[in-house]
Amino acid sequence: MKKVLFLALVLIASLTSCKKSEPYDAAKQLQIDEQIIKDFLKANDLNASRDTSGIYYIVTRGGSGNVKYTASTEVKVKYTLRLLDGTVIPQTTEPVKFTLGNVIPGWQIGIQKIQPGGKIRLLVPSVYAYQQQSQGGIPANAVLDFDIELLEIVY
């Protein structure tokens, strides 16, 4: 009985000594990401537009058409993903198809800035990407830098 009581006390002590993490604060993280993006743009002499969401973008080719995007719009794209330190996150070099409702919010917002045939560079705050989760070589709370070419809308 003493052993069971001792083990219970050790377990309770170890559980109560665990540091509890702060809850995720998207607004605070967005402010942090915003400053990181502004510093990056300045350091790289880039002129980007800012969406009301906080996503920065540079349209290098607008494309043509009059697509009205929805969550079910399927797009065929080629893209490159980098971290702001220049690290390229390996992706396929072949065109890929995505349904906008199934991609990160940064893409859902950014793709709507161009039409088929268009090219855009998106600087996506972590709150519109993977937030505090690490994902396939992407660290938690990482601002993402995408070059996207919208090849076509898939019907």
8-63 per-position pLDDT tens digit? 333 344 444 444 567 889 999 999 999 999 999 999 999 999 999 999 999 999 99
Amino acid 3: pLDDT: 41
pLDDT at 122 over 60: yes
- Using DSSP, state whether 127 is helix, strand or coil: helix
Amino acid 16: pLDDT: 43
pTM passes above 0.85? no
Q: What is the dihedral of CA 62, 67, 73, 74, to 10 degrees?
A: -50
Q: Which fold has domain 49-155?
A: Chitinase A; domain 3 (3.10.50)
Backbone angles phi, psi at 124, to 5 degrees: -105, 115
The Cβ-side half-sphere exposure at 14, using a 13 Å CA radius, reads: 6
pLDDT at 6 over 60: no
Which of 1 and 139 is assigned the larger pLDDT? 139
**What integer is the mean pLDDT of 67-85?**
97
pLDDT at 4 over 90: no
pLDDT at 146 over 50: yes
Per-domain boundaries in the chain: 49-155
Token pair for 76: 């065929």
pLDDT at 98 over 90: yes
